[in-house]
Structure 1
Amino acid sequence: MNLDDFFDNCLYFTVNKLSRSITKMAEESFAKTGLSPTHAFLMMLVIEKPGISQSELAEALHLKPSTITRFVDKLVEKGLIERKTEGKRSLNYPTEKGNEIVTDIKEGWKILFRSYSDILGEEEGKTLNSLINEAGKKLEK
């Protein structure tokens, strides 16, 4: 077996190769927002559900709470989110400035979808997404 075959037959390396490619596309798609793709997705959750908790964000984005805290801190610094404490819970709300970028974030999503759909094909992209989602759920168990 040559080295290329070895890596091409390893799910770990194949998924990471895909991740690097799609991350680059996502960063380009969300460039207009001034946010990383993950920050943009987090921002959408806060806009769609004002008062969302840190733990809900962590669960939705499949990230550790400490990572969510850092991401929210960054968005608070940018004036896009305000954090309110309710007992032990930290709730997140979009600011007026945060609500103003929702159109650019949604446009970033559309650009990203179109970018990979143009390469893979729309149905193939949806199928790949579904297969990866299902595999992820199985592997998380």
Structure 2
Amino acid sequence: MEDAVGYRLRRAQLAVFQQFNEAFAAKDLRPTDFAVLLLLSCNQGLKQSEVAEALGIQRANFVAIVDGLEEKGLVERRKSEKDRRVQALYTTRAGSDYLKELMPIWAEHEERLIARLGGTRERDQLIHLLKRLCD
């Protein structure tokens, strides 16, 4: 098992998520919530289905995630201006402010990961290899 790619990927994911949860423990934030906020901060007005697809989340599960973010006042649904049947997602002012608070924590978390990998060159190599698995 030690040399099995799938096993190593899963162990790495668990370790990274554990470290993320420790870094963000005081903020009561899950990795998925952070990913949604970060994606929406740069892409206001995306359809729910687009965000779910971009993050690899099943639509049925994504609704609950958005419900939670909406209850916290961080995200809001609006009818799309292009298609009134579609819900578009936007970060609220509170969501944008919250994300600004989170970014330094995320940056420190990323820096710790990069250091454990051996530097940015190794990070870039790992990302390149992981992308090859997704293509």
TM-score in terms of structure 2 length: 0.86
Distance 2:42 2:28 in 1: 19
State the secondary structure of the residue aligned to 1:74: helix
Q: Where does residue 113 of structure 1 map in the other structure? A: 110
Shift of 1:136: 2.0
> What's the offset of the Cα at 1:32?
4.6
What SS does structure 2 have at the residue aligned with 1:8? coil
Structure 2 residue runs without a partner (length 5+): none
Q: Which amino acid in the other structure matches residue 93 of structure 2?
A: E
Deviation for aligned residue 1:85: 2.5
* Alignment match, 1:21: 15
Select which of 100, 103, 123 maps to 1:103: 100
Assess, with a 3 A threshold, how the Cα gap between structure 1 residues 27 and 102 changes in structure 2: closer, same or farther: same
Local SS of the residue matching 1:101: helix
CA shift, 1:108, in A, is: 2.9
Q: Are the equivalent residues in 2 in contact too, given 1:82–1:94 (CA < 8 A)?
A: yes
The alpha-carbon deviation at position 91 of structure 1 amounts to 0.7
Q: 1:130 aligns with which of 121, 125, 128?
A: 128
Higher mean alpha-carbon deviation, 24-33 vs 63-72, is at 24-33
* Length-normalised TM-score, structure 1: 0.83
How many residue pairs match? The answer is 131
Whose relative contact order is higher, 1 or 2, with alpha carbons under 8 Å and at least 6 apart? 1
Quote how far apart the aligned CAs of 1:134 are: 1.6
Confirm or deny: 8 A CA contact 1:33 1:101 kept in the other structure. Answer: no
Instruction: Kindly provide the amino acid, as one letter, of the partner of residue 130 in structure 1.
Output: H
Does structure 2 conserve the Cα–Cα contact (< 8 Å) formed by 1:84 and 1:90? Answer: yes
RMSD of aligned C-alpha atoms? Answer: 1.6
Bigger shift: residues 29-38 or 107-116:
29-38
**AA paired with 1:35?**
L
For residues 133 and 30 of structure 1, do their structure 2 counterparts lie closer, same or farther at Cα, with a shift above 3 Å needed? farther
